[in-house]
Structure 1
Amino acid sequence: MNEALLRELVPAVIGILVRRGADFAAAEDAVQEALIRAVRTWPQEPPRDPKGWLVTAAWHRFLDDARSETARRGREFAVDAQPPDGPVPNADDSLWLYFLCAHPALSPASAVALTLRAVGGLTTRQIAQAYLVPEATMAQRISRAKRRIAGLPLDRPGDLPTVLRVLYLVFNEGYGGDVDLAAEAIRLTRQLAAATADPEVAGLLALMLLHHARRASRVGPGGRLVPLAEQDRSRWDTVLITEGVAILQAALARDRLGEYQAQAAIAALHADAPDAAETDWVQIVEWYDELLRITGSPVVRLNRAVAVGEADGAQAGLAELGRIDPELPRYSAVRAHLLERAGDLETAAEQYVAAAAAATSAAERDHLTRQAARVRRLPR
């Protein structure tokens, strides 16, 4: 049973149903039902034309649902009983669905869920498992998203930056259940990169690959977080790094710098260093300058303070930190790191404790608590 093939066919099948007259929500529901039927029947009876099989099954499901609704309302549903004759169109609707799922009327969480369903071809159960929420909760989220765009004209799809933000959100969710969301985000971004020559799409793909290359070294025994400086670089995936760097270089050559290309350039510099001590922090600061110019993001400014502390010394990093709002998430963790480097161990330990109290995950909280304990044991 080729589940990857099934997921790849989903956007095209949804697009065909929509062009035949189905609205998006009904088409998506019908395709999901067809996928469930395919999972049950294909292992015993594999079709000669998988795409044609899915189109036929989904179209019949759509007709059945439409007739049921018609009977309930006492109205006639004017549509042919059979799909139009002729071969199934070979159009690729993936790009259209990306933009539709990133419609400006949707919240980021709803856009992510709808993208995983309509473009990723995942079931509600798979998405719920990946997000570690009950299936009923995810079903409600997806239903609300489809209702939200059901009555809206589809001439206002989300723009490309919104699509990229949705894919980045998917990637950052990591993985859970039986679906690896980081790998799924890479798969979807590859599809988008194949459909458009925009250098920011390539930049996002490069960024994902470079981060994903370090995945095996990020977590130690018992789920302990391993900081970048302490990671075993022999476990980094050099194939993904090589691919990510090549994609980034091609994107940068187009001379249309964007935030994802700048982030990927920083990730590439980390990947290029044979060990933490040989990291080119001066160049990383320069890339953070570019990223800050593009985004103006306080989070970028916070990360830049860390880089300045590495490039120019802890006091320089603390001076940069003094220009940043202390209410920003991770501020205490960054201040603790810079204070430790500056030799103020007592205050650093206090800041690690404060950072642990504000942590949003158990793994991060445990890591910061251990950092506080470690610093307290250091000789004064």
Structure 2
Amino acid sequence: MKRDDLSQAMRSSLRRLPPPHDAHYGIVPPPPPEEGVPIGEAMRSLDRARGAFGQMDTVAKQMSDRYIISRILTRREAVSSSSIEGTQSTLDKLLSVEETGGDESKDAARQVRNYALALDKFLPLATEQGYAVFSVDLLKELHRAVVKDDPDYRYTPGEFREHVVWIGGGRDIAYSTLNPPPPDDIAGCIDQTIDYLRNEGMQQMNQSLLMRMAIGHAHFEAVHPFPDGNGRVGRLLLPLMMAAEGHVPIYLSPYIETRKGAYYASLKEAQQRLDYQPLIGFLADAVAGTVDELMKTRAALAELSGMWKERRKFRKGSAAARALDELPHYPVVTAKRLGELLAISPPQAHQAIAQLEDAGILAERTGYARNRIFIATEALNIINRPFGEEPILPRNDASKPEPTLGISGP
């Protein structure tokens, strides 16, 4: 870690690391600022992001369209956030694990599923409790969720690190880009993070939500309290802060995944020089870009639904007709799941699936006689397309969905 890369305030916060790394220093980050911080060129991005928040909140109130708060969005967030840290899975694998339970207890898909389940558990609490939801125990629970099925994690999930870590430089601390604080300073630094996240100080008057998201995220990542998994925990804090503020959460990891270089560069400016402007602008652009992507997906799925209804005359109120409304949320589904969603008997669920298969809306993927999984491939292709690409709808005369590369097999 080069001292010349640090601002004067950060150089003054250096503390010698314990042996065997006592030739080096770690940064004990100062408390997150509660006063206003310069935003400069980020102002235009902040304006767009405020409009995006308003658009999301308005659309979410249209209860006839549930996609804006669909569980599928948390699943895609989980896949992308985990991928940023090197845990590779796919959306359809994750959804298949949720339908079947999976065969292995410690594979990547189950790790990603744990991330999604953490969102399922804590987002409602953040909505209910507001900023009071943030605590040291919450951070530890989030960490347990993201690493508990990681076979390579050698420490106790949810416990702060007791050794020196560094960012960048591979195995040699001499080439690091940032040295987080010594282990003895972690507890005090995390208390400062929590105090800030609870939004009880002057930051609630001096800083907007996006400013607080950037500052809180940067401070947590600078402390780096856990041996591993800090990036995933830090990104979990972002939708939790939105929910605590009363907004519909916007999941930013798919955007971040496509722009990792800019993300890490802006995070480094905040951590090395206390310059939050690049990270504020980045997160604001992420919010606006994510909402734009979401609206395109929502419109494409609505158009696809209309195309499905033209392929076959489903009896009004039938199980197959009602299933069409569930498939954007459950594009990977079993007969048991469909029966639960529609409150119908197993024979009715199988009959509905047969009708949807006949119309080319569902396709069986396992080839098994039992425990079969069905995929609404056309919907999944729209939902799971690379971030920033335009949705591709099937041809109007399609009776069977075209196979798409990138959707994994059984």
* RCO comparison, higher one (Cα < 8 Å, 6+): 2
Structure with the greater alpha carbon radius of gyration: 1
TM class, shorter-length = under 0.3
More helix by share: 1
- The TM-score, its normalising length taken from structure 2, stands at 0.24
